[in-house]
Structure 1
Amino acid sequence: MNPSSATLAQPFSSLPDAMPNRLHRRLAIVLAVVAFHVGALWALQSGLLKRAVELVIPVQVMAELIELPQPRIEPPAPTPAPAPPVAAPTPPRPRPQPVPQPVPQPVATPTPAPSTLAPVVPPSPPAPSTPTEPVVAAAPPSPPAPPAPPRIELPSSSADYLNNPRPPYPPLSKRLGEQGKVVVRVFIEADGTASRAEVRTSSGFERLDQTAVQTVLRWRYVPGKRAGVPEAMWFNVPINFVLE
């Protein structure tokens, strides 16, 4: 056998002997750790830690609650108020002595001598004054009467100089025998012309009503007047349609 191979074989031969020792040491450490944890769990379950905490906490609480007694400070006693001074009694006033009144002496009255003068006549009462008549105050003047309203003259279409033609009779109305009275409301300007017209009272027939409206719009009128001044105003114009 080669000597170099013998030297290499020696460490490898010692390895089997060292391996069990290391395993035993590691196993012991693991078992110790496991035993420590098992003991801690058993202590938590059995309440040993809780008892230790309960025993420590009351001691701290009692240490905080106990305080040294403080000396009690007595308030100072109130000083008595000084008594008010007693007024000295006033001596009684002497009562006034009554003054004796003099006794009245009798006085002689002289007798009156007879008078030679004429008797005094009492003055006569004054004559009653005549009552004065009461003065009547003058009545205030009556207010002036309001002015009379201005006179209004309505328009007219019956003047002879106007030469207004008669309304034409519709031929169809003659054939059908239509007749009646139409009242047309027309607005007459200040110059006598008609600017607007509308049916106020119908005759009952449309042809007669429209013929009356067209007729009054073509007529001339005497304009209405207010206080003599021409003024535009409304006026009702009656038109009769009668078959002869």
Structure 2
Amino acid sequence: MTFYAPPSVQRRLLIVAAVLSFHVAGLWALQSGLLRRAVERVIPVHIMAELIEAPQPEIAPPPPAPPTEKARPVSTAPKPPKPAAAPAPQPLALASPTPAPDAPTGVTEPDPAPPALLAAVSEPAPAPPSPPSPPATPAPPRLELPSSSADYLSNPRPPYPPLSKRLGEQGKVVVRVFIEANGTASKADVRSSSGYDRLDQTALQTVLKWRYVPGKRNGVAEAMWFNVPISFVLD
């Protein structure tokens, strides 16, 4: 049994079939790249180039110009005042070179100087005061050294050591003695040796037993050191 459709239905079926075929063909063309080739053929090359051209970089605007300084107002200096008009010269009285015949004649004398000025001129100026004289230098103190040779002291001569005499030892010893204000010797030492110890010790013991005239400063007895020379000479 055959089915026969009317013409209007057939036309609709054909249209639907054509639309479906067109969609199927479009999908297949997208997958296979035919549509892109067709578009490249239809659209001109320069239009595609314009579409895919890279964007141009933006150009920064130029910086604003620095503000110019405002013109300073020019200060106008005040005008100098006009000089006042000089007064008209007045007539001066000039002496006539030829005096009148009836004019009185005389001799002019200078004014006398004041008496205070005359007294100042006549009196001589006072002399400047003389500088004070320097103070007198005090006299040095009068010093008297001790003595051991006074006759009233009765100091014995130092004994000569027998062994030194037998051996022929002789020489000079200088003993430094500290003499008190009462004339006694409190300490002594050998200042210059004779070269022999026996002679030095004999001289040292002798001067410690002697009595002395004490030293004086400005007439006052004072303790002080004194050098006593002792010579050992064989006869």
Which TM-score applies when normalising by structure 2? 0.52
Equivalent in 200, 209, 217 of residue 208 of structure 2:
217
Q: Work out the CA distance in 2 between the residues paired with 1:116 and 1:149.
A: 92
Q: Which residue of 1 aligns with 2:92?
A: none
For the aligned residues, what is the CA RMSD? 3.9
Q: Which residue of 1 aligns with 2:185?
A: 194
Q: Work out the CA distance in 2 between the residues paired with 1:171 and 1:146.
A: 57
Is 1:138–2:125 an aligned residue pair? no
Equivalent in 95, 99, 102 of residue 115 of structure 1:
102
Q: Which residue of 1 aligns with 2:220?
A: 229
Shift of 1:124: 5.5
Q: Which residue of 1 aligns with 2:10?
A: none
Q: Work out the CA distance in 2 between the residues paired with 1:241 and 1:145.
A: 50
Q: Work out the CA distance in 1 between the residues paired with 2:229 and 2:125.
A: 69
* Number of aligned residues: 152
Q: Work out the CA distance in 2 between the residues paired with 1:202 and 1:113.
A: 125
Change beyond 3 A, Cα 1:113–1:207 = closer
Q: Work out the CA distance in 2 between the residues paired with 1:234 and 1:171.
A: 31
Determine helix, strand or coil for the equivalent of 2:148: coil
Q: Which residue of 1 aligns with 2:142?
A: 151
Q: Which residue of 2 aligns with 1:173?
A: 164
Determine helix, strand or coil for the equivalent of 2:207: helix
Identity of aligned residues (%): 73
Q: Work out the CA distance in 2 between the residues paired with 1:198 and 1:147.
A: 36
Shift of 1:242: 0.2
Equivalent in 197, 202, 205 of residue 196 of structure 2:
205
Q: Deviations over 1:192-216 (max 9, x none)?
A: 0001100111100010000000000
Q: Work out the CA distance in 1 between the residues paired with 2:162 and 2:103.
A: 142
Q: Work out the CA distance in 2 between the residues paired with 1:158 and 1:113.
A: 120
Q: Which residue of 1 aligns with 2:45?
A: none
Which TM-score applies when normalising by structure 1? 0.50
